[in-house]
Chains A and B, each alone.
Chain A
Amino acid sequence: MKKLSFKIWMLLLAFITITIVFLVIFSNFLYEELYVQHTETSMKEVAKNIQRTYSGGVVTDDFIKQTEAYNRFSNIEVFTVRNPRELSACIPFDIDYDSLIGADERAKLIAGNPVTKRGFESRFDREVVSVIYPLVDENRLEGIIYLYVPLTKITELASNDIFFLIGIVSLLLIAMAFISLKSLQRVLTPLAKLKEAAISMANGNYDTRVEVKSQDEVGELAQTFNQMAASIQEEDEKKQDFLSIVSHELRTPISYIKGYGEAFEQNLVSEEQKEEIYHLIVREANRMQKLTNDLLTVSRTEGIESVEISPLIVAESIREVIHLERSNIQGKKLKFSIDVDEELILAADEQMTKRILINIMENAIRYSPVGATIFIANSNNTITIKDEGCGIEAEHLTHITERFYRVNKARSRSDGGTGLGLSIASQLISMQKGKLAFTSEVGKGTTVHITLPIWEDSFI
């Protein structure tokens, strides 16, 4: 398989060669058509002038001398012929003689018509353009005025400079080839680099980038490649983080359970500690179960392609979620202020929306101080859930929907979250063509804005 660069280069060279050949042919054509035509015309003029001086009868010596005199000072070869043999007068006889004119030409000339020839003339041993004018007297071809100009080919015309010309043309061809090769390399080198970068990326080096040197299509391609590489790298880093966090999250409860298990095995636990340790083991097991459930939800939602959209009375869903979370709410003595339009019907998937509300509500409950109030309201199709918690700094607000994102990097397990709740909520909302936004003031609390499409009832 030949390289694209080679193919294009060959094509360019072919074009250049064709152009040069065409120019040669074209200049030849111009020479033939213009120069030769012009020569022919001027020869005819001369021949006519000489012919006018012929007064009939035998062609005299004076007439021949006059032609010779003209010939001396002219660049056109001119001579008068009166030898019958040269004039093909012996045509019916098989004469071993190469006459100047043939039988057909003789017939034309006798009729008083001039003859023009172009081609190889053995008499002059070269290509000539010749004009023959008759000297006719009473149907007798007494003689002819023969004019000719060597029809030198352009190459012959420039015979002295032929090597110079060939050299120039060759140099031009080499220069063209070199320039086109360099230009091609300029264009195609970034492509080769892109190829190398792609191979490097395929081998797992996601930090590979190409240098963008131009603003053309190749430059744009390089830029796009860099963007793609950055995205892949980011995704890869997220994956790495995700895996390390998941393993870290699982390792903690497992090491707890393992530690207490071994303590039991070696009878190192006293009777009065047993109950507390059982409680701890169950708590850690619950944490693991929640984490694995959330992970399952995350992977499932990634695989879900179809969403069952149906009319959903939001106020109803909110009440159901509060009911589900009642144990947590009561544990922290929280109050609820609900101001949701009972007639608000959204176009949403019921199960997904409940999941979203549960996740956000759990966060609000978790971060609300004991005895605080959680405000749930709506403005058109946007539901707001506001808590009176510690709030989140602005720099973290944009990241809180990322998996396992920790606002408090040293967050202890005591706040019980898996780090996946908001990520799941965000995913489920975008699947329903909704929007999730957060506003927060540190020390005052956080407000979550859930926007979902409104149900357009076709019967109303």
Chain B
Amino acid sequence: MRKILILVFLCGILVGCSVTSFNPINSSTDFVASLNTIEPSIDFISNKHKIIQTWKLEAAYTGFTLVSKDYIFLYGYSLNEAVLIQLSTGKKVATYSIHEGSSFAYAVGDSIYVANGKENTLTLLDLKGKEVEKAEAGRYPMSMIADEKYLYVINFKDTFLSVFTLKDLQLVTTWDIPTSSHGLYMNGNELWIGGHGAGSQPNKVIRKYNLQSGQLQGEIEASMMPIGFAQASNGQIYVVSHGSNYVREFTKEGNLMSSIKVGANPFSINTFDDTVVVAGYDDHDVYFLQNGKIINKVSVGKGPFQLITREASK
């Protein structure tokens, strides 16, 4: 009897420690993945606008990013562990021991940049679960974007943007930007920055900064709280403003082309297969837009907060 109990106990331990595995996603499959944060899960939606897989997550993951087209890096603000899951196998390939406070992750090739909003640091990780570099940032680093040389990091609770070298995270410079900024888009020689706005004053503009000097070059009238950018195949820039539920279409020069209400409290926007996808955080739907019109919507898990897209052929 005791032996059986010990066996059962050991099995329990093994199950508890077993590698997290999910249903694999074929490498050739195009998808939009929605990370739902209220009841943590990931929904994979095909280009037919159908959910092809749902991964139920067992921890409070708050963000993810696609790495090298076949990996998903998952992190959570309250978790001290981040994971790398291979899509084609559905298996966890690496575990990262990182401190609580992960606020954003951004991948460039095989490098993963993780911002920590509690410790105000930036960490560069590889695909094997190792920490390569670490740097100090401003208060609450979050939104990130990179060009060939530099990584641009918005310090969400601070009044400046930090520019780091991409390779070894050396701080190059800082630019003055308003606090509560969020959302970055690189438009040629310009860096467009959105944001929520500080205090009770909601932000209603997109600020354009010179990529070399960091000087403010102008503002584009947007709707309330523009925080997400996506460039469509036609070259137009789509901006989601979560305060007003609007998705606005701009030319590269910042001219407004169209405007449409999409979803309830949308945070995330992306492009996918000639469509623009928007996630409504409050209505738990992912919308597909084409030519400034909603052509479809898919119900996903509760609280879709981030969208990533993969187009295998591209």
Contacts and interface: CB of A to CB of B under 8 A. Distances in A.
Interface of A is mostly: loop
A94 to B, nearest CB: 6
A139 interface: yes
Interface string A87-98: 001101111110
Interface stretch (B5-13, B41-49, B91-99, B195-203): B195-203
B86 interface: no
A140 B103 contact: no
Contacts of B103: 94
Contacts of B208: none
A83 interface: yes
Nearest to B282: A110
Contact of A94 (B156, B265, B267): B156
A297 to B, nearest CB: 99
A138 B297 CA distance: 14
Given A96-B157, A97-B200, A140 B282 contact: yes
Interface of B is mostly: loop
B117 A94 contact: yes
Nearest to B243: A84
B281 A92 contact: yes
Interface string B132-160: 00000000100000000000000011000
Contacts of A84: 202, 224-225, 242-244, 265
B265 A89 contact: yes
A140 B62 CA distance: 22
A141 interface: yes
Interface string B98-138: 00000100000000000001000000000000000000000
Most buried by B among A90, A97, A110: A90
Interface in A132-175: 138-141
B245 A95 contact: no
Contacts of B305: 92
A147 B49 CA distance: 43
Interface residues of B, number: 32
B264 interface: yes
Interface in A84-122: 84-86, 89-90, 92-97, 106, 110
B283 A139 contact: yes
A237 B243 CA distance: 111
A84 B197 CA distance: 11
Interface residues of A, number: 19
A140 B77 CA distance: 26
A95 B182 CA distance: 11
Contacts of B157: 94, 96
A202 B261 CA distance: 106
B275 interface: no
B180 interface: yes
B264 A110 contact: yes
A83 B225 CA distance: 10
A295 interface: no
Contacts of A85: 196-197, 200, 202, 243
Given A84-B243, A140-B265, A92 B202 contact: no
Given A84-B242, A94-B140, A94-B156, A141 B264 contact: yes
A385 to B, nearest CB: 109
A85 B202 CA distance: 7
Interface string B189-222: 0000000110110100000000000000000000
B243 A141 contact: no
A94 B196 CA distance: 11
Contacts of B261: 140
B270 interface: no
Contact of B280 (A58, A93, A139): A139
Interface of B: 37, 62, 77, 103, 117, 140, 156-157, 180, 182, 196-197, 199-200, 202, 224-225, 242-245, 261, 263-265, 267, 280-283, 303, 305
28 contacts: A83-B200, A83-B243, A84-B224, A84-B225, A84-B242, A84-B243, A84-B265, A85-B196, A85-B197, A86-B200, A89-B242, A89-B265, A90-B196, A90-B225, A90-B242, A94-B103, A94-B117, A95-B196, A97-B199, A110-B264, A138-B283, A139-B263, A139-B264, A139-B280, A140-B245, A140-B265, A141-B264, A141-B265
What are the nearest 6 A-B pairs in CB distance? Answer: A139-B283, A84-B243, A139-B264, A140-B264, A89-B265, A92-B305
Given A85-B202, A89-B242, A93-B182, 9 more contacts: A58-B244, A86-B200, A93-B196, A94-B103, A94-B157, A95-B196, A97-B199, A139-B283, A141-B264
